Structure 1
Amino acid sequence: MTYRVLFLCTGNSARSQMAEALLNVLGKGRFDAYSAGSQPSGSVQPLAAHLIAELGYTTPLRSKSWDEFAASDTPPFDFVITVCDKAAGEACPVWPGQPVLAHWGVPDPATSPDELSGFMDAWVTLRRRIELLLALPLYAMDAMAREQKLRDRLPPTHDRHDPMTRKRILFVCVENSNRSQMAEAFAHLHGGDTVEAFSAGSRPSGRINPKAIRFMGELGYDLSTHASKSLDQMEGDFDAVITMGCGDNCPWIPAKRREDWGLPDPRDMDDDGYRMVRDDIGRRVQALLASL
């Protein structure tokens, strides 16, 4: 299977152009990557073009509008990724009709167009992100593509924003800093706005483990936006309450379904061990969503 990917930023003059070239070259036929801008500048930054040429990417570069890819006869994209810098207050484009799978915040090197260091920093960041994307197992890539297409095909009469039609899921562990946070993230990633996902702890640590943030970041999910929460903050009924196998003495929480996943705490594991737990959680969340 060849995946179609669209990289978006505002001007389509540097970051999205570099991301397009990197994925097409490094992906070796697994991906067809494109780029566009919501307000295209009309030209590609010379330093970005230089780095792209050194990579060996020979497709002519052109700063273009996303309107070129929004026509009804355009083949659909599997993934849409924004590369704008929200942290710097930059407005990120919103792709109409399709949820953005991932946001990769990369500072805009075009703000200092003559400084090679800024373009190199963006290049290295984008290359690392793309290498991590290429390292994803095929089952994970296929699952994300299927989920994206499923959302696109929902009939317009189905209001996915109606709380009455969404499933409510709560993931529970002790500190709410690793496993339950990643489970909540996967529910958001794979369930989108068809679910309301929450996580909490019986003794919340008050912080998200930096490892959890880093390893979910590999999948394009920014876990730093989460907070470590107490079970006391959880209200209402849930369709499913999932404990992570940490022996919690949890207060009674109304739920139609309860499961304990018996997962080891990855807090002190090495990188490979942490990824194994993360991927196991991802598979379990996908199975849970499919069964609700």
Structure 2
Amino acid sequence: MSLIAFLGAVEIGLLFGLVALGVFISFRILNFPDLTVDGSLPLGAGVAATCIVGGWNPYLGTLLAFFAGCAAGLVTAWLNVKLKILHLLASILTMIALFSINLRVMGRPNIALLGEDTVFTPFEGLGLPFYWMNPLVLLVVVILAKIALDRFLLSEVGLAMRATGANQRMARAQGINTGRMTLMGIALSNGLVAFAGALFAQLQGGADITMGVGVIVIGLAAVILGEAVMSTRTIILATIACVVGSIIYRLFVSLALNADFIGLQAQDLKLITAVLVVAAMTLPGMRRKLRIKKITAGQGVRK
């Protein structure tokens, strides 16, 4: 793998680290299977691209994309909390609706941003090649987002949200408004994903209506891989694991697609994703079995 290919994989891994953080909030903190992210990522991309093409400040467009994602998450949570629709079905309904909404926002299936100013444009004057500059900028963004999320989850409201995901009945007994926590958490989750979509569109030079297909699988793969390779005993470690897992996932994908002797091609990306997710899900169990065998063997030696 060349240096440019490696940095490109790290760049996309950092970008989808934001998606992994969003998926972490819904799946791990709130125990809420949320498929809305497949629609909220292109929503963020479409809002940002539409604003930029319309002459808006790209930073303002990116901020609006974040709030648009929050609104999408609120709809999913509202369907579940207020209308008592099963969380999985509520997220599917919102995801389906977002396809039409995204077309309305963009006005057409795709928007090109070639030649337009983006949030990365001011950093081009630093003199660094784009394949170094973009990963560095994204690294700073991801670190800031991770620190902000850590501080939130360790706050009183964050603890209430974590209690809601752990045991809603007990949380309600402690006076926590679990419905409000669910609304807030799913909104924040999809806001992060839409924010990642806005940055992705500006990196790739355009937004497309289909760019969100399979995003939930990538986010879950990043979370599971991160949990498989490092400890997640604390919130700080868990959020680091999400970003690390996302980078590892993209590096594995890049390695597989660049390994000519394997014979994989670009159309095999979904197959690689499925294999990586299966490997990540089975790895912790295999490690646990090996640990038990070692303990048992050690006890047998003592006897």
Q: TM-score, normalised by structure 2?
A: 0.21
Q: Which has the higher strand share?
A: 1
Q: Which has the higher helix share?
A: 2
Kindly indicate whether structure 1 or structure 2 has the higher relative contact order, using CA contacts under 8 Å at least 6 residues apart: 2
